[in-house]
Every structure is written in structure tokens, then in C-alpha cells.
Amino acid sequence: MAIREDHPVPRLRTDLEVVPTSYQGKRALLIRDALGLIRQPVILQGEALSLVTLIDGKKTIRDLQVELVRARRGMLIDLDDVEKIIDQLDSAFLLQSRLYEREKERLISEYAQLAVREASHAGLSYPASEPELRRYLDSILESEGRLEPGPDRPPDALISPHIDLEAGKRAYALAYGAIRHRRFGRVFLLGTGHSLDDGFYCLTGKDFQTPLGLVKTEREVVKKLRKAGGVAISRSDIFHRREHSLEFQILFLQHLFGSSFVIVPILCGSFAAMLERVSRPSQLEGVADFLAQLRRCWEEEREDSLFVAGVDFSHIGPKFGHRERAASLLLEARHHDQKLLEAVTRGDVEALWAEARRVRDRFNVCGFSALAALLEVLPGAQGRVLDYRFWQEEATQSAVSFAAAVLVAC
């Protein structure tokens, strides 16, 4: 027994994607691990599902046995059976235990030695072969036909989704169609760090490999940002390993421009816990210096640089922790998104923050922190929304909204 009977059972990891679902006609949880310790999705049912809902980091194995007996209206369950299930959960790296922490440290150490971040979604979310991928990206970019001319001045920032490429193809087409005739030497990438749990930002000096080739990371800029950000920066770049929010943007950039540009890859963690404490991200320790340095780096080569924020907006329905189905939240979430987009296209970070605070992040806008960072770096930027829509997943009665937009700095 790895976890002692008289010690509290560690709680379920907070960095897992947990999706309520059904399997073979019975209630279940589908669990995915963006960190990559769990290679294949795990389905929990029966006693394991009941136990997971009871584990809070305080109860011992015996406490959990008692709770299960109560939940089953007095039907007994053997303590050994509870221990066995807990062992299985722990061995699968589902619990925030010493075993998980050791394995995570091993993974971090191994990943730190690598010079290249390999594509994590090739063959899963998009074709793994270059010819097939190019044909697929062409089909997306050309799906909207001839696009209206953009502004005379090229955008300083692009907002694009990171949702499934097929689900978001119209938004991807409009976003990247707005820059397809431009050229940029440096691209600052801001994406959602879905599993980032130990800092507001995660940086990496690794180059990025995709089926379309290798894109170089501007390591000197990354070093400057890391030094400026201090405590606001994650101690490891492991969170880039399987994150798709930047990978999808790089595909389109490579397809349009080859590998002639360098990138500065930045993952943004959640600001949800800080909404009531401050009125904008630059009031947080380390964040102000980080964002000020980011703006300085942009200003050094302003005419040759582009910001790309790979973000989605509201996540609603049971899949994302709501008791209500997405259909009953759709109007409220749409109103919230529109308020956020109004703030974005006015370059008003305090209005963006105030709107998120108003709803207490109820709609799980995963791109909020990246958008807030972008507006801090480009205050007063003016923009326009190119597309906005919801993708609905009938199986889970859930939905995700996303948008495409361009911004021009003042």
C-alpha cells in the first residue's frame, strides 16, 4: 500500500481534464492529462468514480470507506477493496501524491535536456505528413473564398482560436487570411497554458518542430523575459510539451511564411484567483516587469513583429463544471464574450478585467489571461472582430466559443 491507511488520501490532480460522460450506458468520467504522464485517456466508473468524488485531500482510506457505505445506504464495502482502488488511482498518476510528484520531476528533468519541442498533435489533430498537412491547411484558408482587403497598415496583433482545426476553420481562415500577404520576422506567441499550475507564464527556449519544418525560438528574448518575470514565471517549460494552443498557430504561420521568422513562445496561466485582488494583471508581483519587458522587446523591432494570441472564449456545460446544459447558458455566455471582445477591440485591459470579475469567471474563458497580457503590452490598441461563434458538443451538452480578430497598436 503506497498511501498509508491512517494518512489523508491525496486529492485528484488539479491539472487534469475531467469530462463527465457515459460509457456502455453508465455514468463515467473521462480523464485526460495534458502533462503526458497518463498517455491514454482514462475512464472511471463504478466504485472508482464514487471514490474520486469523495476524495478531498483530508479523508483517510477508512473515512472514504465509511462515506461509501453511507452513499450505498449501508451496503458494506471491504476496506481492502477501497485500498485497492486507491492504489490503482495512484499508480495511474491521478492523485496529487508523492508518486506523482516524483514522476513529474523525472519528466521535467528529461524534458529540460531537449533542444526541440516536437509536435504533439501531428497525426491526432491534423495530418502528420507535410503534403497532406499543406493540402488540409489550404482547404481551411481557402474555405472563405476571396477575403476583403485588410487595413493599409498591417495588424500588430492577431487573435485566433486554438479549438479543433475543423470546428474552427472559418475563424482560422479569417484570422490568417488577414495577414497572408504580410511578412513578419518575429512572432510573439501568447497561448493558453491549460495545465500550467506554478506561475502566471511559462517560457521555453526550445525550437518548435512540426511536419512543415523547424521554427527557431529567439532565446535571447526568452532569457530577458524570464529574468524580468521572476516569480511570475514557471520554473519549468514542461507545460509546452503537449500544449496545442501555440502549436496550431505555428502551423498556419509556417504554411504562409515558411520558417523565415523566429518565435517567442509564451503560455499564460489562469488569473481567476486574482480577479478580486487587483484590477489588471500588471498589479501582480512579477507580472508588471514581465509585461514591460515584453513591450520593450516588441518595440525594438516593432515594424517587423506580430503578436498572435491563440485563445478560445467561453466553455459552458457539464463538461466544464456547470450543472446546466450549454443551451441554457448560451445567451449569458455570448453576452459575456461580446463584452470581452468590445474591451479587446478598444485596447481596454481594465474593462476586460472588470467584465471577468463581474461574472467571477463563471464561463471559463480560457484565453482571458493571454488577452489581458496582450492589452497590457498594446494599451489602447484598436481592432475589429472578424468572426465569432460557438461549437457545440451534443454528446456532453457542452459548448466552446471562439473568435478571430485583428488589432493595430496606437
Whether residue 258 is found in the same domain as residue 382: yes
CB of 226 closer than 8 Å to CB of 297: no
**Can you tell me which residue has the cell 509556417?**
254
Whether residue 258 is found in the same domain as residue 167: yes
Long-range contacts of 48-55 (CB under 8 A, 24+ apart): 48/85, 48/88, 48/89, 51/82, 51/85, 51/86, 51/89, 52/12, 52/89, 52/94, 55/9, 55/10, 55/11, 55/12, 55/95
Q: Is residue 62 part of a domain?
A: yes
Q: Which of 88, 107, 126 is the last residue of a domain?
A: 107
Q: Which of 45, 78, 107 is the last residue of a domain?
A: 107
Whether residue 276 is found in the same domain as residue 367: yes
Per residue of the chain (410 residues), give pLDDT as tens. 467 667 899 999 988 988 888 888 888 999 999 888 998 899 999 889 989 989 999 999 999 999 888 887 777 888 988 999 999 999 999 999 999 999 999 999 999 999 999 999 999 999 999 999 999 999 999 987 555 555 567 899 999 999 999 999 999 999 999 998 888 999 999 999 999 989 999 999 999 999 999 999 999 999 999 999 999 999 999 999 999 999 999 999 999 999 999 999 999 999 999 999 999 999 999 999 999 999 999 999 999 999 999 999 999 999 998 999 999 999 999 999 999 999 999 999 999 999 999 999 999 999 999 999 999 999 999 999 999 999 999 989 999 999 999 999 98
CB of 60 closer than 8 Å to CB of 5: yes
Q: Which of 84, 107, 130 is the last residue of a domain?
A: 107
Domain membership of residue 97 as a residue range: 16-107
Q: What is the CATH number of the domain that holds 89?
A: 1.10.10
Whether residue 92 is found in the same domain as residue 141: no
Whether residue 149 is found in the same domain as residue 55: no
Looking at residue 230, its pLDDT comes to 96
Instruction: Give 162-177 pLDDT, tens digit per residue.
Output: 999 999 999 999 999 9
Counted domains in the chain: 2
Summarize the chain as % helix, strand, coil (round to 5): 40, 20, 40
